[in-house]
Each structure stands twice: as structure tokens, then as C-alpha cells.
Amino acid sequence: MTTTKRIFFFFSFILSSSLFSQERTDSSKLLKNVIVKGYESNTSLLKVPASISVVGKSDLNFSSSYSLLPAVNSVSGVKMEERSPGSYRLSIRGSLLRSPFGVRNVKVYYDDFILTDAGGNTYLNLLDINSVDHLEIIKGPAGSMYGAGTGGAILLNGFGTLKDSNDLKLRIAGGSFGTLNESVQYLHQSTKVQISVGQGHLQSTGYRIQSNMRKENLQLNMRIKSSESLVSDFIFLYADLFYQTPGGLTLAQFNANPRQSRPATTTLPSVVDQKTAIYNKTAFIGFSNSYKIDQHWKTVTSITNGLTAFKNPFITNYEKRREFNLGLRSKLVYENKLPISVQWITGFEIQKGDYTIDSSGNNKGVTDGNTVTDNVVARQQFAFTQLNFYPFSFMQIQSGLSLNRFLYSIERTVGLPAAGKKKLDFNRQILPRLALLINPFKNISLYGQLSKGYSSPTIAEIRPSAGGVYTGLQSEYGWNKEIGIKLGAIRNKFYLSAAMFQFDLKDAIVRRVNNTGAEYFMNQGDVQQKGIEIEFQYTLVNLSKQHFIHSLKWSQAFTLNDFKFINYKNNVTSYAGKKLTGVADKVLVTNLSAEFAKSFYWNLQFNYVGKMPLNDANTFFSNIYRLWQSKLGWKSSSKKHPLECFIILDNIGNEKYSLGYDINAFGNRFFNPSPTRNFQAGVIVDLK
């Protein structure tokens, strides 16, 4: 039976089940009942005409005591990488091609605050997992509401609903490779005020040589409900992050000793000699105001301000950055349910970033004095509007667009060549999105959407760490076409979401590395991205705690990618028809979670990741790997001072694999080995 037929019969089975399962049964909380904010929907996933996945608090707690990575990787179409402790990359539908490290081409918000800076980068690794209640992942171009980009958006939620409670949570966990995670979180809530103060510490010696890390966090969230009409939010975050970078290995080095760091060669010293590492100190502050004008109108406005001191002694150079970012986002929302239900959102977002970037040689972790300095100013601004209406009770139409503008100026103030100030003003772009959702039956939604994606080069691509300036880079753009189905079935215990899409990307930006190891970026032709993404959740058991097994849930995520270069030449060599670099052809994630014996819980997660090309020529591929992870925990029944103990096992099968690769690496140093079998154990005390 072909893959197409298997998918057809699978959908037919689920559809037939839903038609005979309309009566209401238990109140088990499925994904279909989760309220999402994406595209200002404020409704259940079942009623949103877009591909949105939700990672809830329980998902985050089941996977790790300190990292978002395992939970995010349980989402179809999404891949989060960790090449060494603290070094994260994030890909949504193949957007990793231009990200040597960090998060690029994905817009990230923390509630109404803009986390992504004006230069297109997001320091997602600065956040403490305990400051995130849940997150929504929007797949595909989302320019109609969240600005330009081709890789989607992530909405992090850190503020909960207001209720009377006081909590002081103490967490401590430790494990293999010197991992220690400690946090203290105080939460005060009333019907008018919410105050959350969190402190976190994370450290690890790492699996490999030259992979130590340390992170300190301090975060304050405050919400004040002045009246029924006015709600104000305030956030302050300070993070001090340090992690060493062990570098990529060749296949022979990976097989011989995966714990080694990048050794010296005849032309370059080792990463140990060069003391390669990342130092990042960031302060972030934000204020937002939500005002309900009347029963139909409301406004939400947020101001954000970020200051970063960044250092990166690399094997061939030493980069220092001083970054100042300012952002403003405001929206006006109108809602009316009579005579036809209508929602209209319009607003704007403005960001400005001022960056002073120094590049020099690296002499054993110290700058060699041969410094060039560039002052870079980045501006991003867009206006957006969206109309959401229901012409019939079974139909929803969502249409929106944004007008985007990007400006950069670069001036070399120290060093040569001193060519004066260079300005880059990318053409204004109108990014439309049109979506249609139909509910032929109560628990079934069919949707389709058409949207345009557009992404200008980031600061790190125009002015990479080695010090070159590439003002000739153009923006990448393309159209995304998508259809999908969402349904709840089998007596309301089953939820499924499936999507099929095609994204045709033009002038794709590709990372290259020269023979000294310095990176640069180029526009390299067209890419066609076809994919199928399926997620489902099935509640197998949902009983009272008097039963030995009183809860058992099974969830599954499946990703099938067919991403190819269409028109791409490297000098005279054509890569047309080659698979897109860094994207696995198949990914399967299975998750079982259970609650039993009144106070115990257990989670088991299995990840199957297919092979992926490691260079554009497709001459090197990663190996398939199968990763098993599990968590076993116990919660006391005390309501006054609840106690929780847990143990987490990672890479149970002792797989030899990499959670992240250096794609298109010079010298074929693609491999960043991940830890062998390891564990974490911890305790959580809640002093209510």
C-alpha cells in the first residue's frame, strides 16, 4: 500500500468515527478544547483556520526540568536543536538553512511583548522554562499579523488568569554531566493583582570537552487589573548566560571519540586553545496596556526595551556586540456578534536596533588588537489588518495583510575599508493572507489558507561575525498554500490535526563557510517545500483516582518532508533537485503519559528522526536515530505543602547521535555529538 493510500484510509477511519461519536461524555481536557491566541482567535484549536500547535505546561514538565527542547520537538514540523548545552537553534518547516546558531526567521512574542529584536534574532536560550506557562507555534508565513518572515511565529504565554492564591515554589534537580538546576518562584494572585518573581540557576560541565555552561536568571512579571476595562502588564528579565562551544567534528572524529572537541589542524588551533565560548548578558523590560473601550472595542499597546552585551571568541575571530533594541506594538480590536459575527484587528509594530559590532582576531581567548568596528542601525516597521467573520454558522473567513518596510545602515568607524555609511532600504512589501474554515459537522473543521512569506536578511547575515559586509544580499520570499483538517472523535476522547502544504521560496538565503572557517551568506535560487504534518491525542483512560490507572493518554506527531532545491547553482555546479540541507525527510514522535496509584505519574517519549543532507551537494547525510526519554514522578496528596519528586531518563537506548549539525561546514565538520544515556532527578516543594 502506498503512503498516499495509507493516509487516505487513516483519514477515512477517523472521519467515520467522528460521525458516530457526537454525544458529550467526560470532561477530559483535549487539545481541541485549548483556547489559543494566534491570529487573535481567542477560541479553541478546532475553530482556527491555521496550522497552530500548543505545548502546554504539562508537556513542558513531562519532558525536562530546565529545557524547552524535548517538548518543542514533540510538535510536527518543528525541530529544536542543541549542539552543546545552552546553544539552541529552532526550525519551523525547514527555516534552519540560514541559522548557524540562535533563532532567526521566526518571530517570537512573550504575551504582547516582542522578544525578537530589530535585527531579526531571538535569544530564546535566555528564558527560564519556569517562566513559560505554555506556548503556541504558528507554522508557515504569518505576516498578516506578526510581520515579515517565512518561518512562522511562536507565542509564549507567561501570565495566567487572576485568582486568589499565594505560592512559593522551590525546585532543585541534578544529574549526569554535572547538571544542576535550581529555581525559586514566588506567585501572589488576587482578583486585581498578579505578581510573579522567579530566580533560576542552571549549570553543566557538558558531555564533550569544552562544553561547560552556566545561566543565571531573574524575572519579574506583574499584572494589575485597575478596573474591568483596564489591565496593565509589566515584565523585567535579566539573564547572564555563558556556554563553551566545542565545535564540529568530522565523521571519523565522531566515530573515534564523540566526547572530544574540535582538535587543532596544521592551519588552525583547537577550540580549547582558543577558549571558544558565548558570553551574553541581557536586560529586557516591557510594559503593556489593554483597555476595553466598550463592549465592542479594545486596544492593546506594548513597549519593549532590550540591552545586550555579547562576546564570542571563535576559533578564527573574536566578536563583541553591544545591542540596544526598542519596540512598540499597538492594535485596535473590534468584535460584534450581531447580525453577523465579525472581528476586525488593525495595528502597527515598530522596532529600532542600534548595534556596535567589533571583530578582531582571536589569540587564545583574547582579542589580537586588529579590530574593525561597525555601527549598525536596523529598523523594522509594519502595519497590519485582519478581518474575521462568519457569513454562515458553519463557515469562517479570515483575511488579512500587512505592509512591511526594512531599513539598515552600516558605517565602519574603526578599521578598513572605510567606505562611509551604507544604507539598505528593502522595497516595501504587502503580505496578504486568506483563510477559509468550514464546519460540516460539530466536531470537524476543514480549512485552507494562502499566504505570502517575505524575509529580509538579518544583521548577522549582512554583517557576519568575521567582519565582512554583504550589502548585496536580497530578501527571500514566496507563497504558501495549505489545506488541513481538525476533528474531535470517538466519544470526545480523540483530537486530530493534519495539514498538507507547499511553500515555493524564491531567492533563498544559504549559509556558506570559506576555507578559514568564516561564514557568509548568499541568495541561492529557489526552494520548493512540500510537507504533511499530523498530530493527534487520544485519551485511553480517564477515571477517578480510586482506580489504579486513572489516566492514560497517547499522542502522536508525524512529519513527512519533501523539500528540494529547484534552481540553485554553486559556481558551475547545479544543485537543482537536491534535498534541502538540514531537513529530515521523516520525523515521528510518540508520547505516552499515565497517572496511577493515586500519586504517581509516568511519561515515555520516542523520537524517530530520519536522515538529512548535511551539505547542499547532498554528498553527506546524517544517520537515522531513535531517541527514548522517560520521566517517573510522585506527588504528595498534601494540600498545604505539596511535594513532588521525579527522575528523568534521557537517551535510554544509548543512541549515538547529534541533536544539531553544522550544515555546509568547511572540512566536513558536521557533527556535534549529543550525550549518551543520562538522567536528572529533582524535588519540587510548594509552600502555599
Reported confidence tier of residue 500, pLDDT bands at 50, 70, 90: very high
In this prediction, residue 623 carries a pLDDT of 93
In this prediction, residue 422 carries a pLDDT of 86
How confident is the model over 62-80, as pLDDT tens digits? 878 889 999 999 999 999 9
Reported confidence tier of residue 572, pLDDT bands at 50, 70, 90: confident
In this prediction, residue 595 carries a pLDDT of 94
- Identity of the amino acid at 618: N
How confident is the model over 122-140, as pLDDT tens digits? 999 999 999 998 999 999 9
Cell match 504575551: residue?
A: 111
How confident is the model over 321-341, as pLDDT tens digits? 999 999 999 999 999 987 889
501 Rama class: left (phi>0) / alpha (psi -120 to 50) / beta: beta
Mean pLDDT of 311-329: 95
In this prediction, residue 8 carries a pLDDT of 41
User: For residues 592 and 201, what is the distance between their CA atoms, to the nearest angstrom?
Assistant: 30
Other Cβ atoms closer than 10 A to 660 = 22
SS3 state of residue 490: coil
Mean pLDDT of 537-560: 93
Residue 6 above 70 pLDDT? no
In this prediction, residue 12 carries a pLDDT of 42
Reported confidence tier of residue 150, pLDDT bands at 50, 70, 90: confident
How confident is the model over 224-246, as pLDDT tens digits? 999 999 999 999 999 999 999 99
Closest CA to 244 of 308, 177, 307, 306: 177
More confident residue, 651 or 470: 651
Q: Are 649 and 183 in contact, with CB atoms under 8 Å apart?
A: no
Reported confidence tier of residue 299, pLDDT bands at 50, 70, 90: very high
Residue 251 above 90 pLDDT? yes
Cell match 463592549: residue?
A: 295
Mean pLDDT of 475-483: 93
- Identity of the amino acid at 347: G
Reported confidence tier of residue 365, pLDDT bands at 50, 70, 90: very high
Reported confidence tier of residue 101, pLDDT bands at 50, 70, 90: low
Mean pLDDT of 613-631: 94
In this prediction, residue 173 carries a pLDDT of 96
10 Å CB burial of residue 27 (0-12, 13-18, 19+) is exposed
- Percent of the chain scored above 70 by pLDDT? 93
What does pLDDT average to over the chain? 89
Reported confidence tier of residue 606, pLDDT bands at 50, 70, 90: very high
Element (H, E) at 659: strand 658-661
**β-strands 444-455, 476-489 pairing:** antiparallel
Residue 17 above 60 pLDDT? no
Tabulate helix, strand, coil % of the chain (nearest 5).
10, 55, 35
Residue 7 above 50 pLDDT? no
- Identity of the amino acid at 446: L
How confident is the model over 300-309, as pLDDT tens digits? 999 999 999 9
Which of these ranges, 510-514, 629-633, 665-669, has the smallest mean pLDDT? 510-514
- Which domain, by its residues, includes 523? 3-470+477-686
Mean pLDDT of 52-61: 89
More confident residue, 148 or 348: 348
Length of the chain: 688
Residue 10 above 60 pLDDT? no
Residue 465 above 80 pLDDT? no
CATH code where residue 444 lies: 2.40.170.20
10 Å CB burial of residue 645 (0-12, 13-18, 19+) is middle
How confident is the model over 445-455, as pLDDT tens digits? 999 999 999 98
Residue 23 above 60 pLDDT? no
Reported confidence tier of residue 632, pLDDT bands at 50, 70, 90: very high
Number of domains in the chain: 1
**β-strands 569-570, 277-292 pairing:** unpaired
